[in-house]
Amino acid sequence: MIKKLFDRIFRPKLSKAAHAKSEHGRSEHSKTQADRSILGTKKSARKYTHNKDSAAIITYKQHQINRSLLSNAALKTIEGLQKAGFEAYIVGGAVRDLLLNHIPKDFDVATDATPEEVNRIFRRSRIIGRRFRLVHVLFGDETIEVSTFRGHHQAEGDAHITESGRITRDNVFGSLEEDAVRRDFTANALYYDPTSQEVLDFHQGFADIKAGVLRMIGNPETRYAEDPVRMLRVVRLSAKLGLSIDAATMAPIAKMADLLQDVPPSRLFDEMLKLFLSGHAIESVSALREQHLHHGLLPMLDVVLEQPMGERFVMLALKNTDDRIASGKSANPSFLFATLLWHEVLVAWEVYKTEGSHVIPALHMAMSEVIATQAEKLAIHNRYTATMKEIWAMQPRFEQRAGKRPFSLLTHPRYRAGYDFLLLRCESGELPAELGEWWTAFANAEGEARAAMLQADTAPKKRRKRSRKKSDAITES
Ligand code: ATP
Ligand code: MG
């Protein structure tokens, strides 16, 4: 009887205390199902899982996030997690973009459920990643990335920090508040609960967004040392979103740029791809140059950008990509990387030719060399390098306008990419504009008109015959 009375009076307080304790470590995740249902079903209890003093609660009236812009998949993921008694929020880029009136391109969810727990809740889900273990939850063709709140990253548990302070593995789970500290910018550390329509803000991210400022959470130097990719992110996100970079966030970049050399090439590739396909490639690359962050990223991109011809070509290619994205078209990464490295190929090609190699073998050697040098810094996926090589290898064929060859080039599966590439070369002044115009007209012409064009542009016969054998033999190998 006394025990029952004791329970009735103290039980709620005890459960709150247990909950508060769980904020500071993994013990949260070993709580029993009974505890969880208390925490999960009582909305008031869930609200106190973070330190309310450090999180401002931004109400719907203030943020005005339009719920209809949320993806259904994200809503279903949150609903599934919350029904199972977990906390779940939309976090990161999506909340930031919504507040800036941009349409988010993807939705990330943060939760206190472990990857295994998330995986058990959603039938169509899988655990991925090593550096960060995450769960991909699939709804139709949409994928929602669900991450468990990260804790402090002492080099203990499943975490690893290098001597320079770089975090190479990070699977220590923690509380919502700890998760917020671990995010890069204040604007990226907002947690939106679509059920309550509240945004939790631990680092004045809402005010920064309203003021148009990108600000690093914590000490910028330490944060860049932990993960040098953040230097690229700050440049990319400010260009993409039109946010200015806070002075203290900007200050250490120039002297820390070299740290990017230690980042694994595959991560750099992913980040650079995002940057080039952000729709704001020109601004991003210009900002990278201002911050001296482009050195060594695409090896010798810095050199290319310093040659007037190379710079013109790269900038035209980026402009072309930005325009495509602005008009809702897709941009092909292979095409883009082919353009970025083309002037490197041209230089190497020239060297091989001067050394006595024939034209086409020299081109192929140059292509392989440029890709190999590149791979040391930025691992361009094989699926892209194959297409890049096809686009490059096609280029000499555009200069042959006689006989049957132009017809066979038109049937090449990558003709369109090769042709677009040719047009950029013409536009940049590398080739006469007339060549691009000829191909445009030739592709559009029909029957006899097409044949007539050929005759008009026949090159001297002797040279053509000789180069035909060699080029065909190599190109088709
Ligand atoms: P984008 O619009 O390009 O997707 P994003 O900010 O959403 O931008 P993501 O790579 O999708 O970028 O990352 C999602 C969230 O994860 C970020 O908003 C941020 O909170 C966190 N994050 C991503 N990368 C880092 C990093 N290097 N360091 C700290 N936090 C990061
Ligand atoms: Mg994102």
pLDDT band at 471 (very low <50, low <70, confident <90, very high): very low
Which SS3 state, helix, strand or coil, does residue 150 take?
strand
Give the residue carrying structure tokens 């190479």.
Answer: 168
Output the pLDDT for position 448: 82
Which SS3 state, helix, strand or coil, does residue 144 take?
strand
Give the residue carrying structure tokens 């001067």.
Answer: 354
pLDDT band at 157 (very low <50, low <70, confident <90, very high): low
Output the pLDDT for position 238: 94
pLDDT band at 4 (very low <50, low <70, confident <90, very high): very low
- Tell me the per-residue pLDDT of 29-38, one tens digit each, with 9 for 90 and over: 333 333 332 2
- Tell me the per-residue pLDDT of 356-389, one tens digit each, with 9 for 90 and over: 999 999 999 999 999 998 887 777 888 899 999 9
* Angstrom distance (rounded) from CA 350 to CA 51: 64
Identify residues whose C-beta is under 5 A from ligand 2, the ion: 93, 106
Q: Over 60: is that where the pLDDT of 325 sits?
A: yes
Q: What is the mean pLDDT of residues 443-467?
A: 68
The phi, psi pair for 143, rounded to 5°, reads: -120, 130
Alpha-carbon distance values, 387 to 241, 334, 383 (Å): 31, 6, 7
- Which residue's CA is the closest to the ligand 1 atom numbered 17? 92
CATH class held by domain 284-475:
mainly alpha
Pocket of ligand 1 (CB under 6 A): 92-93, 105, 108, 183-184, 188-189, 227, 229-230, 233, 274
Output the pLDDT for position 349: 97
Alpha-carbon distance values, 124 to 53, 87, 116, 121, 238 (Å): 38, 20, 13, 9, 35
- Tell me the per-residue pLDDT of 192-235, one tens digit each, with 9 for 90 and over: 999 999 999 999 999 999 999 999 999 999 999 999 999 999 99
- From the options 3.20.20.70, 3.30.460.10, 3.40.190.290, 3.40.50.150, give the CATH code of 1-211: 3.30.460.10
Residues of each domain in the chain carrying CATH 3.30.460.10? 1-211
Positions marked catalytic:
106, 108, 184
Least confident of 262-266, 289-293, 343-347, 470-474: 470-474
pLDDT band at 53 (very low <50, low <70, confident <90, very high): low
Q: Over 50: is that where the pLDDT of 16 sits?
A: no
- Tell me the per-residue pLDDT of 387-428, one tens digit each, with 9 for 90 and over: 999 999 999 999 998 888 999 999 999 999 999 999 999 999
Residues of each domain in the chain carrying CATH 1.10.3090.10? 284-475
Output the pLDDT for position 375: 80
CA 388 from chain center: how many Å? 20
Whole-model pTM: value is 0.77
* Angstrom distance (rounded) from CA 274 to CA 400: 37
Q: What is the mean pLDDT of residues 235-262?
A: 93
Give the residue carrying structure tokens 């993806």.
Answer: 71
Alpha-carbon distance values, 185 to 96, 111, 281, 287 (Å): 10, 19, 21, 18
* Angstrom distance (rounded) from CA 52 to CA 43: 14
Q: Over 90: is that where the pLDDT of 320 sits?
A: yes
pLDDT band at 355 (very low <50, low <70, confident <90, very high): very high
- Which residue's CA is the closest to the ligand 1 atom numbered 25? 184
- Angle at the Cα of 360 from the Cα atoms of 337 and 435, rounded to 5 degrees: 70
Tell me the pairing of strands 108-111 and 88-91.
antiparallel
- Of all ligands present, the nearest one to the C-alpha of 214 is 1
- Which residue's CA is the closest to the ligand 1 atom numbered 16? 92
Ligand 2 centroid distance, CA of 271 (Å):
12
Ligand 1 centroid distance, CA of 188 (Å):
7
* Angstrom distance (rounded) from CA 353 to CA 446: 37
Ligand 2 centroid distance, CA of 361 (Å):
43
Least confident of 212-221, 288-297, 310-319, 385-394: 288-297
CA 221 from chain center: how many Å? 23
Structure tokens at 23: 């904020």
- Which residue's CA is the closest to the ligand 1 atom numbered 4? 93
Ligand 1 centroid distance, CA of 204 (Å):
17
Q: What is the mean pLDDT of residues 316-333?
A: 92
Least confident of 39-43, 106-110, 468-472: 39-43
From 98, 188, 241, mutation site for ligand 1 pocket: most ligand atoms within 8 A of C-beta: 188
Sequence-distant (6+) residues with CB within 8 A of 134 are 115, 127, 128, 145, 146, 147
- Edge-first strand order for the sheet with 134-139 is 56-58, 198-201, 190-193, 88-91, 108-111, 142-148, 134-139, 125-128
Output the pLDDT for position 407: 92
From 233, 234, 236, 280, mutation site for ligand 1 pocket: most ligand atoms within 8 A of C-beta: 233
Structure tokens at 110: 């943060």
Ligand 1 centroid distance, CA of 332 (Å):
23
* Angstrom distance (rounded) from CA 205 to CA 96: 9
Percentage of the chain beyond pLDDT 90 is: 58
Averaged pLDDT of the chain = 82
- Of all ligands present, the nearest one to the C-alpha of 184 is 1
